[in-house]
Amino acid sequence: MSYYEKFPAPIDEIARQIGYRIRPSFIWTFRRDGATGLVIGLANDGIAPVPGVLRLSVLGEEHKINVSGCIDPGYPKPTGIHQAMLMLPAGVQWEGLRLKADLEVKGVRYPVRWACRQKINSDGSLTLRHNYNPQQPLV
């Protein structure tokens, strides 16, 4: 306790990093055979791998699942970026959709809250939108 009283910042930082902290590091879109695909780069800012299977879901209007898929068990690990690809149904536009994550452990799903700086929706999902405006000059 005396060490914590002298140096609280490093201990608080370690406490925030314990466990897993998943965030989408990047999201790319592409077109294939008339359908839109998403490549999602997942980062883990924690110190432990994910304790189960991470399920990614892309939700549309009224929280209806457009597409869903699972990452290999234990990924993403605390180092590097783990990429996942999801293909949207033909004709579905990606802007405005929501990206949600659930952790599956022994057949039970638990919601995962993204550990990112962007504003997260009340259900823990992240709304997909452009972060680059071609009308604005780069400075």
Sequential pLDDT tens for the chain (139 residues)? 888 899 988 888 777 667 889 999 999 999 998 889 999 999 998 888 888 999 999 998 777 888 999 999 989 999 899 999 999 988 888 988 999 999 999 989 999 989 888 889 988 899 998 876 666 665 5
Q: Is residue 41 part of a domain?
A: yes
pLDDT at site 88: 92
Domain that holds residue 53: 22-127
In angstroms, the CA 23 to CA 40 distance is 10
The CATH number of whichever domain residue 88 belongs to comes to 2.60.40.10
The answer to whether 39 touches 94, Cβ cutoff 8 Å, is: no
pTM comes to: 0.79
Within 10 angstroms of residue 20's Cβ, the number of other Cβ atoms is 22
Whether 116 and 99 have beta carbons less than 8 Å apart is answered as no
